[in-house]
C-alpha cells in the first residue's frame, strides 16, 4: 500500500449492470472492505447523459421550443434524470434527422468521456481507489437502448470505450431482468430489461468487464470484488494517465 500512496494516482474500479443490479449497494460494501485495507476509497455515481454541458444545451433547447411553440407547450423538455435526455426541439430533430441524431449522440458520448476524466483526475491526489457506479459499458447499453433503433451508435460507443480512462478492473453485476425489475420497478419494462441484459452480456468482453453473479448475497459479491481489486493492485502498475490514453487510442481499432 505504501507503494500505492507514493504513486499518488487513483485506480479506477467500475461497477456496471442493469438498473437494480446492485451497483450502488456494492459501491458501499466494497468501499468499506478496501478501506479496511488502508486504501482511501471514494465512490461516485455517474449519470450517463447528464453533465453541465448537456444540461446547458437541454435548457437552451427547451427555451427555444417554448418560444417556437408557445401554444403547444408540453410539460418539460426532457423526462426524468434517466429518461431520454433531450428537450422537445432536440427530440424532434433527433427523430427526424439522421445527421442530428449522430451529432447529438456523439455529444453525449464526448460529455460522458469528459465526466469520466474529470472524476478520475479530481480524485487522483486524494484517493487510492475510485469506485465508479456505472461506466463505459453502461453508456454503451444506454445509448443503444435510447437511439439504437434509429441507427448505429457504434462510433459513439467506440469513443467512450477508447477515450475514457482505462480502469484497473471492471465488474458487471449479472442479474436476470426479472430480478432487476423485482428489485427496482423503475422506468423499464421486462422486455426492455431483457434487451439490455443481453447487450450487457454480449459486450462485457469487449469492455474488459468481469461478469459477477449479482444474485448471490451482497456480502459474498463484495468479498469477491474486493478480493479481485486487491489482487489487481498487487500485480499491476497502471501507466501514467496521459500515456495510458495515447496507448489506448493507438491500440484500439476503430469500428468498421
The footprint of ligand ATP (CB under 6 A) covers 17, 19-25, 183-184, 214, 217-218, 221
Angle at 164 between CA 158 and CA 170, to 5 degrees: 95
Q: Cβ 222 to ligand ATP, closest distance in Å?
A: 9
The total of other beta-carbon atoms located within 10 Å of residue 185's CB is 11
DSSP 135: -
Name which of 24 and 106 has its Cβ closer to Mg ion: 24
**Which cell is 104 given?**
447529438
Q: Cβ 235 to ligand ATP, closest distance in Å?
A: 27
DSSP 148: G
Name which of 22 and 238 has its Cβ closer to ligand ATP: 22
Name which of 177 and 238 has its Cβ closer to ligand ATP: 177
Q: Cβ 45 to Mg ion, closest distance in Å?
A: 6
Distance separating the N- and C-terminal Cα atoms of the chain: 42
The total of other beta-carbon atoms located within 10 Å of residue 145's CB is 17
Q: Identify what 25 binds: ligand ATP, Mg ion, none; CB under 5 to 8 Å per kind.
A: ligand ATP
Pair 53, 111: CB distance under 8 Å? yes
Q: Cβ 192 to Mg ion, closest distance in Å?
A: 17
Q: Identify what 148 binds: ligand ATP, Mg ion, none; CB under 5 to 8 Å per kind.
A: none
Q: Which of 41, 38, 39 is nearest to 26 (CA)?
A: 41
What residues line the site for Mg ion (CB under 5 A)? Answer: 24
Q: 124 φ, ψ to 5°?
A: -70, -25
Name which of 16 and 65 has its Cβ closer to ligand ATP: 16
Q: Identify what 218 binds: Mg ion, ligand ATP, none; CB under 5 to 8 Å per kind.
A: ligand ATP
Name which of 217 and 242 has its Cβ closer to ligand ATP: 217
Is 56 in a helix, a strand, or coil? helix
Amino acid at each position: 500500500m505504501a507503494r500505492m500512496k507514493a504513486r499518488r494516482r487513483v485506480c479506477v474500479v467500475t461497477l456496471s449492470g442493469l438498473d437494480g443490479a446492485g451497483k450502488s449497494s456494492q459501491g458501499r460494501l466494497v468501499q468499506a472492505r478496501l478501506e479496511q485495507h488502508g486504501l482511501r476509497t471514494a465512490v461516485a455515481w455517474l449519470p450517463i447523459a447528464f453533465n453541465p454541458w448537456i444540461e446547458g444545451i437541454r435548457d437552451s433547447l427547451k427555451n427555444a421550443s417554448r418560444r417556437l411553440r408557445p401554444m403547444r407547450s408540453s410539460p418539460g423538455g426532457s423526462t426524468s434524470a434517466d429518461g431520454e435526455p433531450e428537450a422537445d426541439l432536440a427530440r424532434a430533430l433527433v427523430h427526424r434527422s439522421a445527421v442530428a441524431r449522430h451529432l447529438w449522440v456523439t455529444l453525449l458520448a464526448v460529455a460522458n468521456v469528459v465526466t469520466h476524466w474529470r472524476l478520475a483526475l479530481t480524485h487522483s491526489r486524494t484517493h487510492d481507489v475510485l469506485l465508479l457506479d456505472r461506466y463505459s459499458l453502461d453508456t454503451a447499453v444506454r445509448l443503444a437502448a435510447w437511439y439504437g433503433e434509429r441507427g448505429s451508435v457504434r462510433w459513439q460507443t467506440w469513443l467512450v470505450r477508447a477515450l475514457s480512462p482505462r480502469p484497473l478492473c471492471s465488474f458487471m453485476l449479472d442479474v436476470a431482468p426479472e430480478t432487476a425489475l423485482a428489485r427496482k420497478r423503475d422506468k423499464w419494462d421486462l422486455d426492455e430489461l431483457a434487451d439490455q441484459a443481453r447487450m450487457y452480456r454480449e459486450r462485457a468482453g469487449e469492455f474488459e468487464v468481469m461478469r459477477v453473479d449479482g444474485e448471490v448475497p451482497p456480502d459474498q459479491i463484495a468479498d469477491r470484488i474486493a478480493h479481485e481489486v486487491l489482487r489487481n493492485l498487487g500485480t499491476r502498475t497502471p501507466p501514467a494517465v496521459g500515456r495510458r490514453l495515447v496507448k489506448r487510442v493507438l491500440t484500439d481499432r476503430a469500428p468498421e
